[in-house]
Amino acid sequence: MTKLATYEIDIVKSNTSKLETVDFENLVFGRTFTDHMFYCDYKDGQWQQPKIVPYGPMTFEPSARVFHYGQAVFEGMKAYKDEDGNAFLFRPEENYERINKSAARLAIPEFPKEYFFEGLTTILNMDKDWIKSGKGNSLYIRPFVIATEPAISASPALTYRFMIICSPAKAYYTGGVRVLFAEKYSRSANGGVGFAKAAGNYAAQFYPTSLAQAKGFQQIIWTDANTHENLEEAGTMNIFFRVNDTLITAPTSDRILDGVTRKSVIQLAKDSDVKVEVRPVSVKEIKEAARNDSLKEIFGAGTAAVISPISAFEHGGDIFELELKSDSYAAFFKEKMLNIQHNLAEDPHGWRYKI
Ligand code: COI
């Protein structure tokens, strides 16, 4: 682990709060940010003094490497509040480990664990009033690292900034999501960065997704780049298929994000005696299952998306509409997950982390 220059956080508090101006009932995902942000710079081979300052613009040179080569990684996590005002994170160790796995792949130095947790808990305590209680409310937390060195040769930067910003959130998707199964474009390849939360993984989806949207589909379920025969992930979420009463999802690999919600659904399914198969899922079998009525549902699982049912899919010109049922696995696992996150149910696996 990288040596620390110092441990205490320098704090400059905001003189005013935007809290009273926010309409918490009508939030658009990712548009509103809390009063403070955390940041920590890396230079001379070590992470420097961490700081919390009022949320606002920052200045970087136009030559900062992130603007040219996309040397940037991020995380998505959420804080929840119970009815007594206690705030919790959900499996934050997973996010800490994953941001450093992503960072390693992008040649970014590891961020120290003490800084991550101290930064996270300090900013969340300062902006605690932004976490609203009630199922469906959360504070979305976005840790990220960017390469700040002002130099445009194509090589890893010598300076970085790690930051945490926070945004109150409701649902990412409302209602069922209509998806295309990818036939031409690819999200990731063997040996690539698909498993990492690399900023460029998301930018690369924008163009094909806009083509899908023009056809009336909000998202793409990406298939393997070699054959386009196996279903992998949706880019904003991992994907589960229910065939009869069995839940099927693709195994993680260097092409697929190791989602925290994904692994939590798999565990909850095992706890609930729902049969789960983690194995390659082919387009062919899912189309066949849709045709013979054994495909009961498809849903996505992700931090922002929580658990979002898929209401239709398209492949090869065939469109399959999926009925959204109230007794679905999607509804069952979403309820179970939210109850744990909001401290309304036992937490047998120790996933809640009290702030
Ligand atoms: C998340 O679920 O946290 C993600 O990173 C998806 C993002 C596109 C909002």
What's the pLDDT tens digit per position in 340-353? Answer: 999 999 999 999 99
Domains of the chain and any CATH numbers: 3-169 (3.30.470.10), 177-341 (3.20.10.10)
DSSP designation for 55:
S
The whole-model pTM stands at 0.95
Closest residue to atom 5 of ligand 1, CA basis: 76
What's the pLDDT tens digit per position in 221-231? Answer: 999 999 999 99
**334 contacts 307 by C-beta, under 8 angstroms:** yes
* Residue 164 CA, ligand 1 centroid: distance in Å: 14
Ligand 1: does its nearest atom lie under 6 Å from the Cβ of 309? no
| Angle at CA of residue 44, ends 40 and 50, nearest 5° | 15
What's the pLDDT tens digit per position in 257-316? Answer: 999 999 999 999 999 999 999 999 999 999 999 999 999 999 999 999 999 999 999 999
Amino acid at 116: F
The mean pLDDT of 141-164, rounded to a whole number, is 98
Residue 40 scores a pLDDT above 60: yes
Ligand 1: does its nearest atom lie under 6 Å from the Cβ of 95? no
Question: Cα–Cα distances in Å, from 67 out to 148, 229, 270?
Answer: 9, 35, 44
Question: Cα–Cα distances in Å, from 232 out to 186, 223, 239, 254, 271?
Answer: 10, 5, 7, 11, 24
* Residue 74 CA, ligand 1 centroid: distance in Å: 9
* Residue 81 CA, ligand 1 centroid: distance in Å: 20
**261 CA closest ligand 1 atom index:** 2
The H helix count followed by the E strand count for the chain is: 7, 20
Ligand 1: does its nearest atom lie under 6 Å from the Cβ of 300? no
**142 CA closest ligand 1 atom index:** 3
DSSP 56-70: ------TTBHHHHH-
* Residue 103 CA, ligand 1 centroid: distance in Å: 17
Closest residue to atom 9 of ligand 1, CA basis: 304
